[in-house]
Amino acid sequence: MNQQRNQTDSWMGLDGRVCVVTGAGSGIGAGTARELAALGASVALIDRDLETASAVAAAIRDSGGRAEAFKADVKSADDISTAAARIGDAIGPCHVLVNNAASVGYGGALLDGDMAAWSHTLDVNVTGALLCTRIFGRQMIEAGHGGSIVNVASICGRAPLPSGGAYSVSKAALVMLTRVLALELAEHGIRCNAVSPGLVHTTATEAAYSDSTVAQARRQIVPVGRIAEPVDLASVIAFLASDRSGYINGEDILTDGGFSHTLMTHVPQPAKPMRPR
């Protein structure tokens, strides 16, 4: 088993790479930090909540990995610059940036929802990802070793979430930000891709999954028959972070167990099947 894991580690080529994960104190970010560390990376966990990020980093170190937590709000260029300088000094320049931190609160209907919530969601989910990319992208360019940026988008960037305020709009924008950055950064050897999760059991969605009726109803609408766990996303993110995905650039990898492809199952059909004509 260990031997298999070691072979995977070297196959992925992430050993010793400095990987920065935002929103790493919980959910998909924490799962991604654990996965990257298990693959040999040195992981910098950024979160606005230092306590949770420190606990995840400590657990990674306890199991033999390399990880350190840093407090920063991705909305703040000052916070991110300070964290980036500290990460550069303590661990080394960034190879991989995972823009995962997001505001996932629902801001209400667009006609009369709270405008402050609208702005906050766009500031964190879109501008925050851009700020981190500018600051850590500069580190990658100065180090001259290229890199990989992975943005955590959502199926809501493809399918509109009503009453979700700016959430769907922000995730659609994040996917386009990914594509523009993919073109602009390619000359520096930096790739930029996105992952779009479907339904994932995390702190953010705990209310849905602690209600057994809602949880069961949700499982039933996903073709693979289960709700994703953070590791389901973490393994896709690790692949995009690694050189194994070296020819993938500007893509958005839908990771939703097939849920997005169920549209035609909603179309009412006549009792007598229609025959080909």
Ligand X SMILES: NC(=O)c1ccc[n+]([C@@H]2O[C@H](COP(=O)([O-])OP(=O)(O)OC[C@H]3O[C@@H](n4cnc5c(N)ncnc54)[C@H](O)[C@@H]3O)[C@@H](O)[C@H]2O)c1
Binding residues for ligand X, rule: CB under 6 A, are 22-23, 25-29, 47-49, 52, 73-75, 100-104, 124, 128, 152, 154, 197, 199-200, 202-205
Helix 128-143 × helix 77-90 angle, to 10°: 30
DSSP alpha helices (H): ranges in the chain?
2-12, 27-38, 50-62, 77-90, 115-122, 128-143, 167-185, 206-209, 212-220, 230-241
Choose the catalytic residue: 106, 167, 209, 247.
167
Residue 99 beta carbon to ligand X: minimum distance, rounded to whole angstroms? 8
Active site residue 167: yes
Q: Which is nearer to ligand X, 7 or 210 (CB)?
A: 210
Residue 76 beta carbon to ligand X: minimum distance, rounded to whole angstroms? 8
Distance CA 53, CA 60 (A): 11
What 8-state DSSP symbol labels residue 245? G
Q: Which is nearer to ligand X, 126 or 190 (CB)?
A: 126
Q: Which is nearer to ligand X, 40 or 230 (CB)?
A: 230
Residue 209 beta carbon to ligand X: minimum distance, rounded to whole angstroms? 9
Residue 11 beta carbon to ligand X: minimum distance, rounded to whole angstroms? 26
Q: Which is nearer to ligand X, 137 or 164 (CB)?
A: 164
Could you give the 3-state DSSP secondary structure of residue 162? coil
* Burial of 202 (C-beta count, 10 Å sphere; 0-12/13-18/19+): buried
To which residue do tokens 């929802």 refer? 113
Catalytic residue list: 167
